[in-house]
């Protein structure tokens, strides 16, 4: 069996179930969210369920130092519209052109892989 695996170039590797690096990243994100929640809750005692959505929104729409991009844009391929813009209006909302938006969004989606690769390069350089 060993000779057969060697002929096919198959290597047997053992690994742990958990991935320590990703666990550390998760803990870092949770620490940031917990810290932000603590700051918000000092102002409003016992209102964490209402504040959690705002904290998560701010975390996902704030550009990261390491990538220069927001998590929202890396996932969805466009920048998020701030809720205030939806209700109160803004230049971007008032001058919305559906056809131009569709064309621009398709172009942006074509370039999203390049954006993600650039973010990976910035992360590597940051580390």
Q: What is the pLDDT of residues 26-73, one digit of tens each?
A: 677 778 878 877 887 777 777 777 777 888 888 888 888 878 888 888
Name the most confidently modeled range: 17-21, 22-26, 31-35, 80-84.
31-35
Report yes or no: 42 and 72 within 8 Å, Cβ to Cβ: no
Buried b (16+ CB within 10 A) or exposed e, 43-65: eeeeeeeebeeebeeebeeeeee
What is the chain's alpha carbon radius of gyration, rounded to the nearest angstrom? Answer: 22
What's the whole-model pTM score?
A: 0.52
Domain ranges across the chain: 26-126
CA–CA gap between residue 60 and residue 10 (Å, rounded): 41
CA–CA gap between residue 118 and residue 66 (Å, rounded): 11
């Amino acid at each position: 069996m060993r000779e057969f695996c060697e002929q096919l170039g198959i290597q047997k590797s053992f690994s742990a179930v958990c991935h320590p690096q990703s666990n550390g990243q998760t803990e870092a994100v949770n620490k940031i969210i917990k810290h932000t929640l603590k700051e918000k809750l000092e102002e409003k005692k016992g209102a964490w369920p209402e504040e959690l959505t705002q904290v998560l929104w701010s975390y996902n729409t704030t550009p990261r130092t390491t990538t220069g991009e927001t998590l929202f844009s890396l996932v969805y391929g466009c920048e998020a519209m701030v809720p205030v813009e939806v209700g109160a209006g803004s230049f971007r909302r008032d001058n919305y052109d559906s056809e131009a938006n569709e064309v621009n969004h398709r172009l942006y989606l074509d370039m999203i892989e390049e954006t993600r690769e650039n973010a990976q390069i910035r992360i590597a350089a940051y580390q």
